[in-house]
């Protein structure tokens, strides 16, 4: 009997990631997703001003059989817009976000996929806080992530530990059905709020985490945390219509 094959679409928004993008693409291609899982990589260059674009194009030329779709914004629009552009190109059964840095391990997709394949969940998050061995570069980031998670649980009746995690995996049909307004890092709280408002419970699994410093290119700032708080409140109390 032939095993049913599914495809995981991996959206990779990239802005000025020349130091890591080639290694990241190789890691995603090499990741063991488990039996019966194909992959497609959707790289969205958000108008990088460094060599990110050239490196991606060189990587694709050197790997002609790799399932990589490369999209480019003609102006910088933010991570949320890059993710939204990537969603439009998705052809797989499931979708996950992958930052262009090396903070997370794409081999952890194999921990998340079974929960979607089972049909019990349509949304799975990878939690950095469920793996006790993980370190965190900045206490403020750790505290902020936990605060957003508590806020999410109180506002949306979830039980998660890592709302701002990059590793958010969805049933593709569900994600495509959700109208998104985000342009920047508020993609995370917006999509969390909207799947919660639709009644979906989020499953979490522990993932590995190798944080980088601001000097190494970490882009999140305090203003992004404040926007995340505002986004969670907005979709709970003021913008109640999801579809």
pLDDT of residue 218: 47
Q: What is the DSSP string of 70-117?
A: EEE-SS---HHHHHHHHHHH--SSEEEE--SSSSB-GGGHHHHHHHHH
Between CA 213 and CA 7 the distance in angstroms is 33
Between CA 230 and CA 224 the distance in angstroms is 10
pLDDT band at 221 (very low <50, low <70, confident <90, very high): low
Distances (CA, A) of 60 to 16, 41, 77: 18, 11, 24
Between CA 93 and CA 38 the distance in angstroms is 10
Q: Identify the CATH number of the domain defined by range 6-238.
A: 3.90.550.10
Q: Among 19-23, 32-36, 135-139, where is mean pLDDT lowest?
A: 135-139
Between CA 242 and CA 214 the distance in angstroms is 35
Does the predicted model carry a pTM greater than 0.75? Answer: yes
Task: Give the other-Cβ count within 10 Å of 29's Cβ.
Answer: 17
Q: What are the pLDDT digits (tens) for 191-219?
A: 999 999 999 999 999 999 998 655 544 45
Residue 2 phi, psi (nearest 5): -75, 135
Between CA 156 and CA 26 the distance in angstroms is 37
Please give the torsion angle defined by the CA atoms of residues 6, 186, 242 and 200, in that order, rounded to the nearest 10 degrees: 50
Between CA 138 and CA 104 the distance in angstroms is 16
Greatest Cα-to-Cα distance within the chain, rounded to the nearest angstrom: 53
Q: What are the pLDDT digits (tens) for 26-40?
A: 999 999 999 999 999
Between CA 112 and CA 198 the distance in angstroms is 21
């Amino acid at each position: 009997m032939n095993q049913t094959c599914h495809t995981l679409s991996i959206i990779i928004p990239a802005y000025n990631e020349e130091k890591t993008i080639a290694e990241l693409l190789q890691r995603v291609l090499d990741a063991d997703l488990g039996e019966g899982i194909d992959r497609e990589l959707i790289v969205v260059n958000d108008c990088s001003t460094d060599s990110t674009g050239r490196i991606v194009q060189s990587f694709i030329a050197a790997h002609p059989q790799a399932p990589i779709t490369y999209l480019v914004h003609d102006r910088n629009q933010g991570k949320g817009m890059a993710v939204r552009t990537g969603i439009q190109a998705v052809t797989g059964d499931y979708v996950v976000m992958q930052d262009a840095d090396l903070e997370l391990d794409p081999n952890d997709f194999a921990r998340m996929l079974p929960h979607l394949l089972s049909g019990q969940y349509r949304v799975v998050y990878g939690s950095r806080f469920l793996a006790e061995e993980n370190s965190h570069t900045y206490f403020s980031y750790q505290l902020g992530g936990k605060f957003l998670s508590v806020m999410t649980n109180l506002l949306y009746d979830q039980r998660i530990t890592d709302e701002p995690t990059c590793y958010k995996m969805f049933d593709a049909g569900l994600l495509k059905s959700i109208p998104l307004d985000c342009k920047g890092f508020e993609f995370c709280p917006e999509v969390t709020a909207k799947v919660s408002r639709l009644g979906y419970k989020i499953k979490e699994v522990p993932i590995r985490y190798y944080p980088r410093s601001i000097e190494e290119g970490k882009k999140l700032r305090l203003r992004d945390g404040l926007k995340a708080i505002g986004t969670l409140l907005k979709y709970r109390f003021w913008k109640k219509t999801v579809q």
